[in-house]
Chain A
Amino acid sequence: MEIQFVLNGKKVTADVQPDAVLLDVVRGLGCKSVKCGCETTNCGLCTVWIDGKSSLSCSVLAARVDGHEVTTLEGVEEEAAELGRFLAAEGAEQCGFCSPGFIMNVLAMMRELENPDLDEIKEYLAGNLCRCTGYMSQLRAIQKYMEAKQTEQCMEVPA
């Protein structure tokens, strides 16, 4: 079947099987940042945004995004790179395989929650598994990133 959707700001048409999942379709369309870690919606590696909301693309039928907007890490490159620098400074990407899905969910959290505290951050990101880092470095990176964002905003406000 043919579906049409907006992928990272561009209209795309794809011929998909009725049982194809979004994960495979976006990877087929070149968005290789999207990874598969478990197939059972437990790990968060395949996180993309559908109409701006975090979704696990391993368990969304591609047919369901017909007429919708899908965003992968490739669609938020600059913002991801900015957060990525904070992760890299802590060494918090380690193997990097979970980083794209994790970054997508952090950016979604930043849009959804205003100044989340540590517990809220942990809760929001609980579905993003990482086997390398033990999570502490990711939290340090997020906190430093949020601080930097706030300082930036303060600077934008005229004195």
Chain B
Amino acid sequence: MSEKEQTAVNTRKTGTNTESGRCDLTKLRVVNHSVPKVDSGSLVAGKAVYTNDLAPSDCLIVKVLRSPHAHALIRGIDTEKAKAVPGIECVFTYKDCPDKRFTLAGQTYPEPSPYDRLILDQRVRFVGDAVAIVAGTSEEAVKKALKLIKVKYEVLEPVLDFRKALDNPVLVHPEDNWRSLAPVGADNKRNLCAHQESGSGDIEAVLASCDYVIDRVYHTQANQQAMMETFRAYTYADTYGRLNVVSSTQVPFHVRRILANALDIPKSKVRVIKPRIGGGFGAKQTAVCEVYPAFVTWMTGKPAKIIYTREESLIASSPRHEMEMHVRVGADKEGHIRGIDLYTLSNTGAYGEHGPTTVGLSGHKSIPLYGQAEAFRFTYDVVYTNVMSAGAYRGYGATQGIFAVESAVNELAQELGMDPTVLREMNMVREGQIMPAYYGERANSCALDRCLARAKEMIGWEEKYPCRDMGNGKVRGVGVAMAMQGSGIAGVDTGSVAIKVNDDGFYSLMVGATDMGTGCDTILTQMAAECLDCEMSDIVVHGVDTDNSPYDTGSYASSTTYVTGRAVVKTCESLRKKICERGAEYLGCSPEDVEFDGEKVLSLANGESISRKEIGNRVMCSSNEPLSASGAFSSPTSPPPFMAAIAEVEIDKETGEVEMVDYAAVVDCGTVVNPALARIQTEGGIAQGIGMSLFEDVVYSEKGKNYSNSFMQYKIPTRLDVGTIRVEFESSYEPTGPFGAKSIGEIVINTPSPAIANAIQNATGVILRDLPMTAEKVYMEMKKAEQQ
């Protein structure tokens, strides 16, 4: 939609042609209101709406034999005994699979992630990598068969330390048919998945002339998304012999391409359907499990399903990229930040899913928070190692980079003897500024200053900073951090929408965006109801079936509200026009002489009207054109949401234990489309961030076995671990967003780790640069400080 069209929408909403083109939020009936999710009734009633609830009972059960070695070549594999188990339909090994590499990353073609996977490979690259696929009529039979497969491995030396991976003589991907489709600086013969350098100004000269330079190294661990519904899919062949896939995925259209690539079949042979999803958080932006049942169905013609156990979901999945970040921040003695230099080393693990892209956000979504810097440099390497492949996790690299840069700024504040909030007030990006490290985009909507001011008020910063001794061996500290993210991938992400008018005038809203629990079916319906001046109950929303839904890249990169939202607004506008035309035709007057108020088309000439219901019914009879509209939107920019947060923690000086007390967070996501849902996104993201900060960790043995293989070892926060989380919104107005909205989904996980680190710093003087900040680490650092 052009600026002019946007203004037209807003004008219609406000009834006045405001120069700014802003819509008057006070006049919105549906948008900017908390309404329950359209699917909430069935969700809270426990209805059978998820993948495994819907799978036919005659599905073959599919399971994967997994490698016990971090790096090995399969020298022999005997499946005869396994195949002889009663009920076993098939056992597949690498010899049965196409020797054509692909990626499991759900990204727009040509994928930046390298084509480095086979369905099954002779070389296994981490403990848990797939060795064989078994399908049978019962779980018992399949489990028994798995035990009877005899594999002879040639065990190879693994690369387990990501700091030693680059140019290591041991190669994770020595194969010649490894392929990188995009210019991301990859070289498999160096264990290099991506490399890039960017910058502006002369960073060395600027840092050399700074009064203060903070030079530190920070480390963030791998984290599991740990959505409650593990990876799962079922597959079947339809009447036309096509492969149908019902999958708990965030990226149905990408899964269609990935499966066509993997099975080496035309995309027209694949259909992907997404039912309700039990959480994703990025995990399901990788097609972790779909290839296995798909291969079984394609080979046997029989329905098949795979349900990952929690253990599989923790050892063979798509966790956050571990990163080490070397930050240099330079400032003058008054505290003006003059330059930021960041080098990120990212561990993509055994395969490169999302490796070349997550790393970019570690710089591009942290450095621009400081708008006045004269120079910046951002360099990165992404390396292969023999641990499970990393993937997309909410925040997507920004979380890691923001921990490093925000922590460095907090260390700078300490060096300067300044209040860290004051240092930020002096340096933060402000509305209207150009952000050189954010692709040179302008911050057209930014209320970061108001967010920080409000967070300080909420927590009582002036009274609580830096700390208070509680007199019982415990000390409470407060700490601050800011964050940003994007709203979709500029110039890439595409949201399409189709709306039709049915008999009795109800609407069908077809979206390709993937509601994974976050409520996009609801907020997109809200926007449509607002645009069409109707009730939400007049609209039926449907997503996603790749045969029927309009194309959408999928729900990731914080894109749905902004990108697909704009597509909804645009499509509704063109539908309104068509309704007017059709109404005018039925009324026998000119389209210029009618008005549509949502319920009826009214002739301004003679006062006659025809209802939407009547129009809908007339369209079904002797009509040469359906009454429908479709539209797509892709944005040349990705307006960042902003956020400021302050954590209050209590530290036990005897044990180093950190307890969350209070968390005040203020978000600028532009206009809040559904305040209840946006608030829960924020509270939930903060809770995940607290887990990442304090205890969640993927721990490997020295041989590369993943110890964090159940919820006993990989602990996610319970309701006793998160303290009180308080969320407010300070909205700017994004001129290019639907109703002024920006994204909310990812930014919300970015503040806890630096804010909590700062609170520990302010309470104890101890600075932790390595996540998670466990009691042991806090205690040992306090001891060290005492001894000095």
Q: List residues of A whose CB falls within 8 A of some B CB.
A: 17, 32-35, 37-40, 42-43, 45, 72-74, 77, 80-81, 83-85, 87-100, 103, 122-123, 125-139
For residue B53, which residues in chain A have a CB less than 8 angstroms away from its CB? Answer: 32
A88→B519 CA distance, assembly (Å) = 11
| Given A122-B720, A125-B719, A126-B718, A134:B683 Cβ within 8 A | yes
Q: Evaluate whether A95 and B517 lie within 8 angstroms (CB atoms) in the complex, with A136-B683, A137-B680 already known.
A: yes
27 A-B pairs, CB-CB below 8 angstroms?
A33-B45, A37-B230, A37-B310, A38-B310, A40-B712, A80-B45, A83-B44, A84-B44, A85-B36, A88-B44, A89-B34, A91-B677, A93-B44, A94-B517, A94-B680, A95-B228, A95-B278, A95-B516, A96-B43, A97-B278, A128-B719, A130-B684, A133-B684, A134-B680, A134-B686, A136-B725, A137-B680
A38 to B225, CA, bound (A): 14
Cross-chain contact B281 with A131 (CB below 8 angstroms): yes
Of chain B, the residue at the smallest CB distance from A121 is B719
Which of A37, A94, A96, A97 has the most C-beta atoms of chain B within 10 angstroms of its own C-beta?
Answer: A96
B268 at the interface (CB under 8 A from A): no
Using A35-B278, A42-B712, A130-B719 as known contacts, list a sample of 13 further A-B pairs with CB atoms less than 8 Å apart, ordered by residue number in A: A35-B229, A45-B228, A73-B45, A80-B45, A80-B46, A81-B44, A95-B43, A95-B279, A99-B43, A127-B718, A131-B688, A131-B716, A135-B687
The distance from the CB of B774 to the nearest CB of chain A, in whole angstroms, is 19
Partner of A43, one of B686, B711, B725: B711
Query: Are A32 and B46 touching (Cβ within 8 A)?
Result: yes
A84: B residues at CB distance < 8 A: 40-41, 44-45
| Chain B contact residue count (CB 8 A cutoff) | 56
Residue numbers in B under 8 Å from A93 (CB-CB): 37, 40, 43-44
Cα of A32 to Cα of B42 in the assembled complex, Å:
12
Name B485-522 residues within 8 Å CB distance of A. Answer: 516-519
B414: interface (CB < 8 Å): no
Partner among B34, B48, B50, B677 whose Cβ is within 8 Å of the Cβ of A97 = B50
**Chain B minimum-CB-distance residue to A82:** B44
B36: contacting residue among A83, A91, A132, A136, CB under 8 A: A91
Docked Cα-Cα span, A100 to B49, in Å, equals: 13
How far apart are the CA atoms of A38 and B313 in the complex, in Å? 10
Q: Which of B276, B676, B677 has the most CB of A within 10 A?
A: B676
Complex A-B, nearest 9 residue pairs according to Cβ-Cβ distance, in ascending order: A33-B46, A95-B517, A96-B43, A84-B44, A97-B278, A134-B687, A134-B683, A88-B40, A42-B711
The answer to whether A94 and B47 touch across the interface, beta carbons within 8 angstroms, is no
Interface centre among B49, B276, B679, B724 (most CB of A within 10 A): B679
Collect the chain A residues with CB atoms within 8 Å of residue B712's CB.
Answer: 40, 42
A72, A80, A130, A132: the one within 8 Å of B44 (CB): A80
Which of chain B's residues have a CB closer than 8 A to the CB of A130?
Answer: 228, 684, 719
Give Cα A43 to B278, complex, Å: 14
Expressed in whole angstroms, the Cα–Cα distance for A72 and B160 within the complex equals 46
A40 near B684: Cβ-Cβ < 8 Å:
no
- A-side contacts of B719, CB under 8 Å: 122, 125-126, 128, 130, 135, 138-139
Any A CB within 8 A of the CB of B722:
yes
Inter-subunit contact A40/B685 (CB<8 Å) = no
CA distance A19 to B716 in the complex (A): 29
Judge if B699 is at the interface, Cβ distance under 8 Å: no
Residues B222-274 near A (CB distance < 8 A): 225-230
Whether A99 contacts B46 by the Cβ 8 Å rule is yes
- Docked Cα-Cα span, A123 to B718, in Å, equals 10
Q: Within the complex, which residue of A89, A92, A97 is in contact with B228, where a contact is CB–CB below 8 Å? A: A97
Chain B nearest CB: distance from A99 CB in Å? 5
Known A77-B45, A90-B680, A97-B50; judge A131-B227 contact (CB<8 A).
yes
Let me know if A74 and B46 touch, CB within 8 A.
Answer: yes
- In the complex, are the beta carbons of B710 and A40 less than 8 A apart? yes
Cβ contacts B742-767/A at 8 Å (1 or 0 each) = 00000000000000000000000000
Q: Report A-chain residues with C-beta under 8 Å of the C-beta of B281.
A: 131
B46's nearest neighbour on chain A, judged by CB, is: A33
User: When the two chains form their complex, are residues A42 and B710 in contact, meaning their CB atoms are under 8 A apart?
Assistant: yes
B228, A35: Cβ atoms closer than 8 Å: yes
> Which residue of chain B has the shortest Cβ distance to A87 in the bound complex?
B44
Contact with A along B185-200 (1 / 0, CB 8 A): 0000000000000000
Of all chain B residues, which has the CB nearest A138? B719
CA of A73 to CA of B36, assembled, Å: 21
Min CB gap A49→B, angstroms: 14
Q: Are B683 and A97 in contact (CB under 8 A)?
A: no
Q: In the complex, are the beta carbons of B228 and A134 less than 8 A apart?
A: no
Query: With an 8 A cutoff between CB atoms, is B390 at the interface?
Result: no
| Residue in chain B with minimal CB distance to A123 | B720
For A133, give its contact among B46, B277, B683 (CB under 8 Å).
Answer: B683
Q: Which residue of A lies closest to B518 (CB)?
A: A94
When distances are taken between beta carbons in the complex, the residues of chain B under 8 Å from A83 are 44
Say which residue of B46, B225, B230, B310 sits within 8 Å of A40 (CB atoms).
Answer: B310
- Given that A95-B517, A97-B228, A97-B279 are contacting pairs, would A132 and B46 also be in contact in the complex, using a CB cutoff of 8 Å? no
Report the minimum CB–CB distance from B104 to chain A (whole Å).
Answer: 22
- Residue in B48, B517, B680, B685 whose CB lies within 8 Å of A32: B48
- Return the chain A residue nearest B54 by Cβ: A32
* Nearest opposing residue in chain A for B276, CB measure: A96
**Contact of A131 with B228 in the complex, beta carbons under 8 Å:** yes
Task: Report B-chain residues with C-beta under 8 Å of the C-beta of A134.
Answer: 680, 682-688, 722, 725
Which chain B residues lie closer than 8 Å to A43 at the CB level? 228, 711
Q: Considering only CB atoms, which chain A residue lies closest to B227 in the complex?
A: A131
Please, which residues of chain A bring their CB within 8 A of the CB of B684? 94, 130-134
- Which residue, A77, A84, A85, A98, has most C-beta atoms of chain B within 10 A? A84
Residues of B within 8 A of A100 (CB): 46
Give Cα A80 to B49, complex, Å: 17
Question: Of all chain B residues, which has the CB nearest A40?
Answer: B710
In the assembled complex, the Cα of A119 lies from the Cα of B698 at a distance in Å of: 31
Task: Give B706 Cβ to nearest chain A Cβ, in Å.
Answer: 15
Which of chain A's residues have a CB closer than 8 A to the CB of B300?
none
Residue of A nearest to B229 (CB): A97
Contact A88 B37 (CB under 8 A): yes
Chain B 8-48 against A: per-residue CB contact (8 Å), 1 yes, 0 no? 00000000000000000000000000101101110111111
Q: Which residue of A lies closest to B44 (CB)?
A: A84
From known contacts A84-B40, A91-B679, A133-B684, infer whether A38 and B711 are also in contact, taking CB-CB under 8 Å: yes
The distance from the CB of B435 to the nearest CB of chain A, in whole angstroms, is 29
Collect the chain B residues with CB atoms within 8 Å of residue A37's CB.
228-230, 310
**Docked CA distance A77–B43 (Å):** 12
Known contacts A89-B676, A97-B279: A40-B711 contact under CB 8 Å: yes
B381 to chain A, nearest CB (A): 31
A109: min CB distance to chain B, Å: 13
Q: How far is the CA of A130 from the CA of B680 in the complex (A)?
A: 12
Inter-chain CA distance A133–B41, complex, in Å, is: 17
Given contacts A129-B716, A134-B722, A139-B719, contact A92 B43 (CB under 8 A): no
